[in-house]
């Protein structure tokens, strides 16, 4: 008996560049009663993105992936020009998950001459990454609101590695009464614990090893909480010392916040989430995790 697992062979996704063509197509699909699942990305896909696409394939009749390195969310001196891009590579990976359409617009079509409209979410965007990357979230919310308008999705999937981004997009979607179900999906990690990120490709072998300190810091924090530690400042200090042992690591922030408001907490409780941003060499990495078991309340 042949026990070899069968794999589904999907057709190549259609790549669409034009904003108008993409929007007209999606409006027609909705008129036909099709449910659209959408995964917005900046490309250079990895297994974290593919996990979102596989889930999206289960949640929609039509699966749309966007690939757009959005210039408005990069600040001066950041890695917009060097951000990895390879549409052919990404299209091949997307095909394996059953993507129907790849929307890959050009910046001049998304932001034509005279463009002057931006979306800003107040409160959630001034802390954490927003404090160290001014204007970043204005760029994120602007492009996501535009993508939602163009793609017309019923459901959009985002990774929880960008925890603050997910919170901001959820707030924007609710406040603007956008008819999109925003789903956050679990962080996908390498076998050694490093959270998958397109920016991991920037790391040298030595830096890649040092980058493990982020996931190790999360584990250390959970161990402290399990042992009864609830003082957030004590936990932060312990983690800062651990991260500081890495020769090329530089801390942007270590914060313990309420999961919904993102306000800093002095005492750890079941709503607390630990958020980290650390430069390893020139590469800025982020990671996060809850400090208690979400199902039982245990640390």
Known catalytic residues?
49
Instruction: Return the residue matching tokens 């914060």.
Output: 255
DSSP state of 152: -
Return the biggest CA–CA distance within the chain.
Answer: 65
Sign of CA dihedral 175, 181, 187, 188: negative
Residue 224: partners with Cβ closer than 8 Å, 6 or more residues away: 234, 235, 238
Q: Do 73 and 47 meet the contact criterion of CB atoms below 8 Å apart?
A: no
Q: Is 221 helix (H, G, I), strand (E, B) or coil?
A: helix
Q: Are 62 and 37 in contact (CB under 8 A)?
A: yes
135's torsion region: left (phi>0), alpha (psi -120 to 50) or beta? left
8 Å CB contact between 224 and 73: no
């Amino acid at each position: 008996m042949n026990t070899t697992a069968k794999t589904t062979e999907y057709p190549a996704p259609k790549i669409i560049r034009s904003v108008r063509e993409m929007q007209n197509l999606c409006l027609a699909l909705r008129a036909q009663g099709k449910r659209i699942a959408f995964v917005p990305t900046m490309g250079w896909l990895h297994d974290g993105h593919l996990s979102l696409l596989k889930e999206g394939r289960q949640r929609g009749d039509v699966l749309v992936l966007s690939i757009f390195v959005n210039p408005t969310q990069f600040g001066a001196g950041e890695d917009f020009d060097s951000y990895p891009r390879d549409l052919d590579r990404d299209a091949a990976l997307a095909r394996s998950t059953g993507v129907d359409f790849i929307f890959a617009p050009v910046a001049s079509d998304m932001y034509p001459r005279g463009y002057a409209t931006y979306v800003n979410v107040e409160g959630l965007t001034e802390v954490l990454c927003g404090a160290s990357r001014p204007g970043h979230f204005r760029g994120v919310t602007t492009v996501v609101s535009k993508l939602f308008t163009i793609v017309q999705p019923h459901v959009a999937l985002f990774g929880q590695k960008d925890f603050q981004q997910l919170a901001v997009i959820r707030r924007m979607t609710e406040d603007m009464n956008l008819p999109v179900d925003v789903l956050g999906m679990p962080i996908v990690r390498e076998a050694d614990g490093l959270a998958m990120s397109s920016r991991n490709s920037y790391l040298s072998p030595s830096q890649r090893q040092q980058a493990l300190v982020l996931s190790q810091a999360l584990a250390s924090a959970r161990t402290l909480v399990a042992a009864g530690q609830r003082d957030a400042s004590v936990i932060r200090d312990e983690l800062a010392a651990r991260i500081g042992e890495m020769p090329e690591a530089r801390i942007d922030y270590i914060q313990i916040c309420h999961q919904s408001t993102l306000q800093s907490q002095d005492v750890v409780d079941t709503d607390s989430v630990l958020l980290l941003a650390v430069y390893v060499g020139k590469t800025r990495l982020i990671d996060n995790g809850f400090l208690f078991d979400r199902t039982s309340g245990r640390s």
